[in-house]
């Protein structure tokens, strides 16, 4: 995502890179309305909000309880905001951590957006079990499987242990156990992590 952002800036074109991280611990707050709302905020700029989007938000203030725009309105506003850009890259990280009902609604919204906005490119990451779900909405996706190696994990742990400021709290045996046990457990948990890529080209400038 950082590389895409750097390329978008260098291109000097009206391109926006936006993203979300789905957090299992924040499932109650990460409803599809909140997720789409977060994407919308990233697309539009303060002081440069399209008038039709502004009107919808103003009208939503008068709804019972001030609940805000409906899901259908958020979807339409996001498409309108995206249409004002030369291109938009949408990056959704850890899709598997979103609750199933919101995950399906989010994928459905992204499919609708991608169909009506040719300039949109979508990048999704998640564990393997969401791959079949994603393929229902994006049959032509490209899939990249990512598997951490034991050496990579050990190097990372070694770096973190070397930077530990509480040296007296750990002896050599504990350090050896950490470097032996954690890489094995993490490899078992994440060896099948996969990334799904939906038509993301290089930004030309």
The full set of domains in the chain, from first to last, is: 1-147+189-196 (3.40.50)
Residues in the chain: 205
Q: pTM higher than 0.75 for the full model?
A: no
pLDDT value for 39: 92
pLDDT of the residue at 56: 57
pLDDT-based confidence at residue 189 (cuts at 50, 70, 90):
very low
pLDDT > 90? residue 180: no
pLDDT tens readout for residues 18-65: 999 998 888 788 899 899 989 988 988 644 656 665 665 555 555 545
- Nearest C-alpha neighbor of 194 from the set 148, 134, 146, 150: 146
Residues 6+ apart with CB under 8 A from 168: none
**Predicted pLDDT of residue 36:** 92
Q: Which two tokens stand for residue 2?
A: 């950082």
Do 93 and 22 form a contact (C-beta atoms < 8 A)? yes
How does 49-72 read in b/e, with b if 16+ C-beta sit within 10 Å? eeeebeebeeeeeeeeeeeebeee
How many angstroms separate the CA atoms of 84 and 75, rounded? 15
186 has pLDDT over 90: no
- Who contacts 15 (Cβ-Cβ below 8 Å, separation ≥6)? 8, 85, 86, 87, 88, 89, 203
Instruction: Tell me the percentage of the chain whose pLDDT exceeds 70.
Output: 73
What is the mean predicted confidence (pLDDT) over 87-98?
90
Mention every residue, 6+ apart, whose C-beta is less than 8 A from residue 143.
Answer: 131, 194, 195, 196, 197
pLDDT at 200: 42
């Amino acid at each position: 995502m950082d590389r895409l952002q750097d390329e978008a800036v260098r291109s000097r074109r009206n391109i926006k890179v936006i993203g979300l991280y789905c957090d299992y611990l924040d499932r109650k707050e990460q409803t599809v309305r909140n997720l789409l709302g977060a994407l919308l905020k990233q697309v539009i700029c303060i002081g440069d909000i399209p008038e039709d989007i502004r009107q919808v938000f103003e009208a939503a203030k008068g709804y019972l309880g001030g609940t805000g725009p409906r899901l259908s309105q958020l979807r339409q506003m996001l498409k309108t905001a995206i249409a004002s850009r030369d291109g938009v890259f949408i990056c959704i990280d850890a899709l598997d951590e979103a609750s199933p009902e919101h995950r399906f609604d989010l994928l459905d919204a992204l499919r609708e957006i991608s169909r009506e906005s040719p300039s949109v490119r979508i990048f999704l990451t998640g564990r393997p079990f969401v791959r079949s779900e994603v393929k229902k909405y994006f049959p032509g996706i490209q899939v990249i499987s990512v598997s951490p190696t034991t050496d990579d994990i050990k190097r990372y742990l070694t770096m973190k242990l070397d930077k530990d400021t509480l040296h007296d709290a750990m002896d050599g045996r504990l350090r050896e156990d950490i470097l032996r046990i954690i890489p094995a457990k993490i490899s078992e948990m994440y060896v099948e992590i996969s990334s799904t890529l939906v038509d993301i080209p290089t930004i030309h400038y």
